[in-house]
């Protein structure tokens, strides 16, 4: 049915019955649902581009319509222009939640947490957040061998079972961290997922596996050091902008989080991002990860919108 | 008569505070507390004080907090006095802050200052070349004058941002590594063949210790608690490298309103998480 409506809109445009705005909106919705652009949409887009004045007029109209559309999907109290571009989440409290309820099995506990994360990611897709990063596994988590095994199995399970769902939402998935220490099967799966989702233009999901803020700064320093050794860079040219480009988060359009959420009430960063958190607003939620619901997420976003970000200036 | 009552009163308060600190000392005491002094301007506006007065009141608060920390047994206190980002403010405000800093830095050298009272060694941390000459010279004078003190340490971050600190440390580490293996030893390696290629590369790779050796804040251990006043919960480019496992505490009070109760609350929270963090530290 949706395909039929879709095609009617496109045919309508060709015969002048449908405005470019409506067509572009349709194309937007297509982008959310289908990973590959439709040739008919591409032809229609080109005809819009040919008429420069019409393009500007309709582009402005389109942003206004888009803003209205996003506003309609946003819950009350949230303004689309004040939403963060990049949200980072530290997933904390799974084990404590399970211990409180007497659950002993590790894998089902983490699956529970995984479900919550998926819900948050799909909410972010709906509300047009551009980047979401999640701290799945730290460089310091290797000290818990049983949890390591459970988490590695969970990652493989999620990637095998849920990839189609992420593709449907047009999500691009990247993995940051030292992948060389992960099991070979997981490394291959990671490469497959990254390749399959590379062309997706929706939300960019960065999953931090075997990642640490200090690790990221170290690998950036080493990368710069090898460029200096090769002679392609002078030591005097090293500055903050250059350094930031070498960090693993540089693969995203918005590498630095605007908002960091940590569940379970603990008030520390635990070596998640480091450099990237320079001006990030931090929110500590008392809810443990499996209890973190949509209304808690909305509360965090409302709090974010009220914050005055001065960046050290006036 | 009034003076006598006042002096008895303040002596009583001081004794009660020392008693409170003795009770707190039953648990672990943080070794290093860092403060982001936020809210001075808002305080001045709230109280209808003149422009720049907020920072003066803020300085008085700083001396009180330092006193409480050193009495409690905290060895290191770090304060975020002036960020490189603060140079973006209005030139008049920046100049006022520089003048205030010069006045207060010179005041540290006086006999009756807190520095002499508690035997404090002072470090000025940051890209000091960005400061004007009088402030930089006064800072260097104070660092030299207090170099022999070792009871407590005060680290004042001026013209500081963490990203600048890390970039500078990486630059120094890279420069050091570049100069490490001279060309003659490369020739002898080619002849010898005993030193493996891997070892050679490993020796030249930058390690964590190399960065930490060149970082400005390397003179102190990582902070145990980072306090940011005025209710904002962000780091604002302060101690990003050092604060990965420390407790972040952000009371709603503006900096000049902060008091003993906030310090006590922060220490109690620290004592709650300390056993877990110690265990993790030993595992890693």
How much is the pLDDT for A115? Answer: 84
Radius of gyration of chain A (CA): 22
Residue A229: list chain B partners with CB under 8 A: 178, 204
How much is the pLDDT for A3? Answer: 55
Count of positions (residues) in chain A:
314
A215 phi and psi, to 5 degrees? -60, -45
Cβ pair A243:B241 closer than 8 A: no
How much is the pLDDT for A31? Answer: 42
H runs (alpha helix) in B158-259:
162-178, 183-192, 197-204, 208-214
How much is the pLDDT for B268? Answer: 95
Q: Looking at the complex, report in whole angstroms how far the Cα of residue B277 sits from the nearest Cα belonging to chain A.
A: 10
Residue B243: list chain A partners with CB under 8 A: 269
Is the pLDDT at A278 greater than 50, yes or no? Answer: yes
Cα–Cα distance list, B138 to A265, B109, B161, B190, B264 (Å): 43, 10, 21, 53, 34
Residue A84: list chain B partners with CB under 8 A: none
Q: Kindly give, in sequence order, each residue whose CB lies less than 8 Å from that of residue A66, ignoring residues fewer than 6 positions away.
A: A25, A28
Chains A, B: CB pairs < 8 Å: 125
How much is the pLDDT for B51? Answer: 75
DSSP state of B50: P
Q: What is the pLDDT of residues A192-232, one digit of tens each?
A: 999 999 999 999 999 998 999 999 999 999 999 999 989 89
Cα separation, B225 vs B216, in Å, equals 19
Residue B278: list chain A partners with CB under 8 A: none
Which residue among B85, B90, B205 places its CB closest to the CB of A312?
A: B85
Cβ pair B88:A313 closer than 8 A: yes
Band (A132; pLDDT cuts 50, 70, 90): very high
Q: Which two tokens stand for residue B86?
A: 């603060």
Q: What is the pLDDT of residues B210-269, one digit of tens each?
A: 999 999 999 999 999 999 999 989 999 999 999 988 999 999 999 999 999 999 999 999
Question: Residue A168 — left, alpha, or beta (φ > 0 → left; ψ -120 to 50 → alpha)?
Answer: alpha
Name the pTM for this structure.
0.81
Query: What residue in A sits closest to B231 (Cα-Cα)?
Result: A307
Q: Kindly give, in sequence order, each residue whose CB lies less than 8 Å from that of residue A144, ignoring residues fewer than 6 positions away.
A: none
Cβ pair A140:B173 closer than 8 A: no
ipTM comes to: 0.85
- The CA-based dihedral angle spanning residues A26, A32, A33, A37, taken in that order and rounded to the nearest 10 degrees: 70
Q: What is the pLDDT of residues B11-54, one digit of tens each?
A: 898 899 999 999 999 999 999 999 999 999 999 999 988 877 88
H runs (alpha helix) in chain A:
2-14, 20-33, 39-50, 52-73, 94-101, 106-126, 145-168, 184-197, 213-230, 240-246, 294-306
Is the pLDDT at A37 greater than 60, yes or no? Answer: no
For B33, the enclosing helix (H) or strand (E) is: strand B32-36
Comparing A269 with B195, which gets the higher pLDDT?
Answer: A269
Q: Which two tokens stand for residue B107?
A: 């005041």
Band (A77; pLDDT cuts 50, 70, 90): confident
Cα separation, B207 vs A218, in Å, equals 7
| Whether A240 contacts B164, CB under 8 Å | yes
Query: Is residue B164 annotated as part of the catalytic site, yes or no?
Result: no
DSSP state of A237: G
Comparing CA positions, the residue from A13, A271, A291 lying closest to residue A142 is A271
Q: Looking at the complex, report in whole angstroms how far the Cα of residue A309 sits from the nearest Cα belonging to chain B.
A: 9
């Amino acid at each position: 049915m949706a395909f039929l409506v879709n095609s009617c809109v496109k045919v309508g445009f060709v015969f002048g019955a449908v405005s470019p705005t409506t067509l572009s909106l349709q194309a937007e919705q297509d982008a959310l649902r289908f990973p590959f652009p439709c040739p008919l949409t591409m032809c229609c887009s080109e005809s819009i581009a040919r008429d420069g004045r019409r393009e500007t007029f309709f582009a402005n109209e389109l942003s206004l319509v888009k803003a209205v559309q996003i506003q309609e999907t946003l819950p009350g109290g949230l303004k689309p222009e004040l939403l963060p571009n990049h949200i980072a989440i530290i997933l904390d409290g799974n084990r404590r939640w399970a211990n409180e309820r007497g659950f002993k099995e590790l894998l089902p506990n983490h699956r529970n947490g995984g479900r919550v994360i998926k819900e948050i990611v799909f909410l972010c897709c709906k509300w047009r957040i551009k980047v979401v990063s999640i701290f799945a596994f730290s460089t310091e988590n290797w000290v818990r061998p049983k949890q390591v095994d459970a988490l590695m199995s969970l990652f493989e399970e999620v990637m095998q079972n849920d990839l189609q769902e992420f593709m449907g939402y047009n999500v691009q998935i990247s993995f940051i961290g030292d992948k060389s220490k992960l099991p070979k099967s997981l490394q291959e799966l990671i490469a497959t997922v990254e390749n399959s989702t590379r062309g997706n233009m929706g939300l960019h999901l960065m999953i931090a596996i075997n990642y640490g803020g200090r690790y990221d700064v170290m690998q950036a320093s080493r990368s710069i050091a090898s460029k200096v050794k090769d002679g392609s860079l002078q030591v005097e040219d090293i500055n903050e902008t250059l350094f930031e480009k070498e960090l693993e988060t540089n693969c995203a359009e918005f590498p630095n989080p605007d908002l960091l959420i940590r569940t379970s009430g603990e008030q520390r960063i635990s070596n998640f991002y480091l450099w990237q958190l320079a001006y990030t607003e931090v929110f500590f939620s008392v809810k443990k990860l499996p209890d973190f619901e949509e209304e808690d997420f909305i509360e965090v976003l409302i709090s974010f919108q009220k914050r005055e970000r001065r960046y050290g200036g006036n | 008569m009034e003076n006598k009552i006042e002096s008895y009163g303040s002596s009583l308060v001081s004794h009660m505070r020392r008693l409170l600190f003795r009770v707190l000392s039953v648990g672990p005491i943080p070794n290093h507390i860092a403060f982001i002094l936020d809210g001075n301007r808002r305080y001045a506006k709230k109280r209808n004080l003149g422009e720049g007065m907020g920072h003066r009141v803020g300085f008085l608060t700083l001396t009180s907090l330092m006193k409480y920390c050193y009495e409690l047994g905290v060895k290191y206190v770090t304060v975020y006095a002036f960020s490189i980002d603060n140079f973006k403010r209005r030139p008049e405000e920046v100049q006022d802050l520089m003048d205030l800093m010069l006045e207060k830095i010179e005041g540290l050298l006086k006999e009756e200052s807190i520095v002499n009272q508690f035997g404090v060694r002072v470090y000025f941390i940051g890209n000091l070349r960005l400061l004007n000459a009088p402030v930089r010279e006064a800072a260097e004078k104070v660092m030299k004058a207090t170099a022999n003190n070792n009871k407590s340490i005060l680290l004042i971050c001026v013209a500081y941002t963490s990203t600048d600190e890390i970039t500078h440390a990486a630059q120094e580490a890279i420069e050091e590594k570049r100069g490490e293996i001279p060309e003659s030893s490369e020739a002898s390696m080619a002849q010898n063949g005993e030193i493996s290629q891997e070892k050679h590369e490993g020796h030249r790779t930058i390690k964590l210790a190399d960065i930490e050796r060149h970082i400005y804040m390397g003179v102190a251990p990582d902070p145990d608690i980072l306090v940011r006043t005025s209710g904002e919960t962000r780091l604002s480019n302060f101690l990003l490298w050092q604060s990965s496992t420390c407790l972040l505490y952000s009371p709603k009070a503006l900096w000049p309103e902060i008091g003993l109760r906030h310090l006590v609350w922060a220490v109690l929270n620290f004592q709650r998480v300390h056993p877990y963090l110690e265990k993790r530290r030993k595992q890693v």
